[in-house]
Structure 1
Amino acid sequence: MEDPVQHQYFVLNKPCGMVSQFISPDGDKVGLLGELDFSFPKGIHAIGRLDKDSEGLLLLTTDKRITRLLFESKTPHKRTYLVQVRRQVTEAALHQLQTGIEIIIEGGRVYTTPPCNVQVVSKPEALFADPFAYAAQIESSWLRITLTEGKFRQVRKMVAAAGHRCMRLIRVSIEDLHLDGLQPGAIREYTQEQYFSLLHLVDPETKCQAGL
């Protein structure tokens, strides 16, 4: 009997300007995950991708179950972002974001986002180096947004629909898996038990934490 496959599980603090791919479909070799100074195992891939201009927590694993259990599950999983937007956010705009706002999604359809947790917060004191430091004099606000869905560029579209341009977007956590001081470009490895427990992953067939 063959031994079960031993998968590996990582978190990367993805820097701004890097795409969430190891291979570009366009043949572009600049800004790919493979440029990181890390020896990745065969079969590694990113889950819950961040766009090129976004930063923060990105899941990397050889375990193909994670996508199904995390993003295709009937059980919603929380994702939290720190978002810097132009100008001061009014109470009216904040209410729109909290209670549901219309955005345009794939196919040009109008979609109303479900209620979510949005708070105006102070600029994070322990924030990593700002890639847009040149914009320091621009009036801005910081929001902490927690969603349980992730349509394409949803957070950016939400703040734009509320009348605010997104200046910086950082995913800081998925469920109880946090950046916890991980520097941009740095990678942290977890055991299977830690990964599944922190992400609150449950196997729908066994009703138990998957892999445990």
Structure 2
Amino acid sequence: MSIYRGTHGTSTKRADLIQANGFEVSAVAKAGSGVYLWAYADDSSTARDLAIGWYWKQVGWRKFADELKPNWSVLYAEVEADDDACFDCNTIAFREALFGYLRKLGRANDEGYTDDDLCAAYNTLIKRVEAKVGREFCVIHTCVTLPKGVALKEKVAGGDPFVHIVRKDPVKLRVIDRENESDGDDMDVAVAVAG
């Protein structure tokens, strides 16, 4: 049994709803369906910055257009899962299978893949692995590329950031802490993302 921790960036209104009703699994996302957490082990500072950056990206996409004046909230969450209920996509074999799946889509070399393409690829390949081993995974570990405009100095040293994706049983995902924009301004992150 292991505990996986991460941050989830959203608006304060939506954070209130998550804390009242629980997380909802996203149907389409870059690395397959699930609830995405920017992963951390002991130091949550980079995961916090990523959550706030993700919030600002969503503001640009008008995700919170129904809110009069949205503010960011960072939910610090954790999920406990059996080790055999987790799958790590950061292996050479999985990456080869992922690239092979995407090549079969027959796109031109200079044509990029959509988030729908990537989501379908991850979901299909993970279902194949689940069928092969005879069990479903509730937590997936992988790396995702940062959305354009989300600044992260640490990317130079470590590559794309890690995420935990909770695919099954989001009720096991619990909020352990929360930080709101109104708790204290964080202009460094806001300026880096907006500018």
Same fold per TM (> 0.5)? no
Structure number with higher helix proportion: 2
Query: Which of the pair is proportionally richer in strand?
Result: 1
Larger Rg computed on CA atoms: 1
What's the TM-score, normalizing by structure 2?
Answer: 0.31
TM-score, normalised via structure 1 length: 0.29
